Amino acid sequence: MDSKKRSTRAHCGKGKFPTGINLLRDPILNKGTAFTEAERDALGLHGLLPACVCSLDEQVERVLVNYRRKTSDLERYVYLVNLQVRNETLFYRVIQDHLDAMMPIIYTPTVGEACQKYGHIYQRPKGVFITTNDRGRVAKVLRNAPCADVRIIVVTDGERILGLGDQGANGMGIPVGKLSLYTACAGVRPSQCLPVTLDVGTDNEPLREDPLYIGLKQTRVRGELYDELVEEFVQAVQEVFPKALIQFEDFANRNAFRLLQKYQDRVCAFNDDIQGTGAVALAGLYAAPRLAGTRFADQKFLFLGAGEAGIGIGDMIVGMLVEEGLTPEEARGRCWFVDSRGLVIKARADLNAHKLKYAHDHEPVADFLSAVETLEPTAIIGVSGQPGSFGQSVLQAMARFNAHPIVFALSNPTSKAECTAEEAYRWSDGRAIFASGSPFEPVSHNGKIHVPGQGNNAYIFPGVGLGAIVAESRLITDEMFFAAAKALAAQVTDADLAQGRVYPPLANIRGVSAVIARAVAAIAYERGLARREQPEDLMQDITAQMYQPVYQSYV
């Protein structure tokens, strides 16, 4: 066999190219029944496979037949995960060809249920678990990862999984799902992706008492020991995978803001819940006034929830308003927040540091409906995890003083959404401009079909990661997320708006990600952050590097 073809992937940079049963057990190289007769001869596969040689298209059809036989979304999730750990090319071909149907299964909302039951459905290892028992040897643990050229790491400590709270080590479902989207939506090579969970225990007592729980059965480590483990992990990544981007995912507020502040200017890292959510929401909010016939600079935003997502979105809005000509003080004055104790105002003595910049002079307001009635915002943004909190009274109030109220119910999973698409359209008499964090089906109201937008971070983070890989950027900056948001908003067409969409169709996501990657990489080159020489044609370079789920010939 041609040695060059055998080294197509260089077996992730580890060891010799496998043959025989070891090849069939390698998810990146395995082709299953698609191995040709010549490949079976050369690679010691005869007798290990049935006689039929199938095409990739035929394998996809077999997968779909079995997928459709499953009777629940969780069963479909388990089936797809098992396919991924068996044959990644086939997995990504299925996902890429059927992204609208598959994304809600491999990620939100189904991934939420999968995390809650992760110990019960766990079958084969995926990713790296680093525990508090690994202090002093984290770099050694990372070297056990199956691939040597890792470029994207998604890491969680499992404390704030979606809107479901502390899921401990079960939170591994989130990094696995996010990295699947890096590949499906932006063409980042599977061999360059590594999911990591920092298992520091869990304060979820039912989990600790569950005999099938897969993590450390202890309360969470906090304080100095926690910080030491995170620091060792970050340093170990620089040592073992020096070109890797670290994406912090689903950390609780108490750690998310300070870890981002600590590491953002030191290493190539970002927090998707803060920056990714901020960018994708900004893109939708920037497109929405086009549909309403108003200007972005004239909007007033009221948030329900003042955690990572809310503050991240607020910061992005302020940046855009400043670009539109407002001062930073004027821009922050357009963003109001309601948390569990009411309207965020200067007179309150219970505010965390990240809320203080959005604390305004105002009389106390106890609840969200009262805040809507008092402030008369043009847009309400739900990031609270409180289902149904945008009730009939809230939506009818918004419709009373807005011709086209902007309603973004962004909490995940679907069960945590502040309202459904149908509720938003019905209680606004079909006039709402709606987007959600999880998908909703189109809604018919008064003879018109409304297509809800999904403010899914998958519109942003895969393109950001691809851009960082292409440029080999040393840092991920706020400017890059701002550019990503503008690039996404620019791809919303008049035809999208006519359907009520404030985001492009998911079917276009790879093209969208490539445009975002170009914007991000361009900033890396302009700011001197790139470790790779700038190509003459940046877009051509990006598309050439995007992974395509097709089989390679090994002979």
For each successive 10 residues of the chain (555 residues), what is the average pLDDT? 45 79 95 97 97 97 98 97 96 96 93 95 93 97 95 98 93 97 97 97 97 97 97 98 98 94 97 95 95 93 95 95 95 96 94 92 96 98 95 98 96 92 97 93 93 93 98 97 96 94 94 98 98 96 97 94
pLDDT of residue 359: 96
Which among 15, 49, 13 has a CA at the least distance from the CA of 31? 49
β-strand 152-156 against 245-248: which pairing, if any?
parallel
Q: List strand residue ranges (DSSP E) for 352-502, in order.
A: 379-382, 406-409, 433-436, 443-445, 448-450, 453-454
Rounded to an integer, what distance in angstroms lies between the CA atom of residue 498 and that of residue 505? 13
* CATH code given to domain 275-457: 3.40.50.720
Q: Which two tokens stand for residue 194?
A: 């590594």
Rounded to an integer, what distance in angstroms lies between the CA atom of residue 343 and that of residue 177? 35
Which among 194, 180, 187 has a CA at the least distance from the CA of 244? 194
> Active-site residue 178, yes or no?
yes
What's the pTM value of the predicted model, to 2 decimals? Answer: 0.92
Residues facing 365 on adjacent strands: none
Residues facing 308 on adjacent strands: none
pLDDT of residue 438: 85
**CA dist 217 → 68, 247, 316, 432, 484 (Å):** 37, 26, 39, 47, 40
- Cβ atoms of 521 and 484 within 8 Å: the answer is no
Listed in order, the ranges of the chain carrying CATH 1.20.1370.30 are 3-101
Indicate which residue of 92, 107, 358, 547 is catalytic.
107
Rounded to an integer, what distance in angstroms lies between the CA atom of residue 460 and that of residue 473? 17
Amino acid sitting at position 132: T
Rounded to an integer, what distance in angstroms lies between the CA atom of residue 392 and that of residue 405? 13
Listed in order, the ranges of the chain carrying CATH 3.40.50.10380 are 102-267
Q: Which CATH class is domain 3-101?
A: mainly alpha
Indicate which residue of 31, 117, 178, 355 is catalytic.
178
Q: Which residues have a Cβ under 8 Å from the Cβ of 98 and sit 6 or more positions away?
A: 64
Amino acid sitting at position 48: L
20 Ramachandran zone, left/alpha/beta (phi>0; psi -120 to 50):
left
Which among 335, 321, 324 has a CA at the least distance from the CA of 378? 335
Cis peptide before 505 (omega within 30 of 0): no
Q: Please give the helix or strand (H or E) that residue 197 lies within, else none.
A: strand 193-199
- Domain 102-267: CATH superfamily is Malic enzyme, N-terminal domain (3.40.50.10380)
Rounded to an integer, what distance in angstroms lies between the CA atom of residue 315 and that of residue 379? 16
> Active-site residue 31, yes or no?
no
- Cβ atoms of 468 and 269 within 8 Å: the answer is no
Q: Count of CB atoms within 10 A of residue 494's CB? A: 8
Give me the phi and psi of 271, to 5 degrees please.
Answer: -115, 115
- Cβ atoms of 276 and 270 within 8 Å: the answer is yes
Rounded to an integer, what distance in angstroms lies between the CA atom of residue 381 and that of residue 338? 10
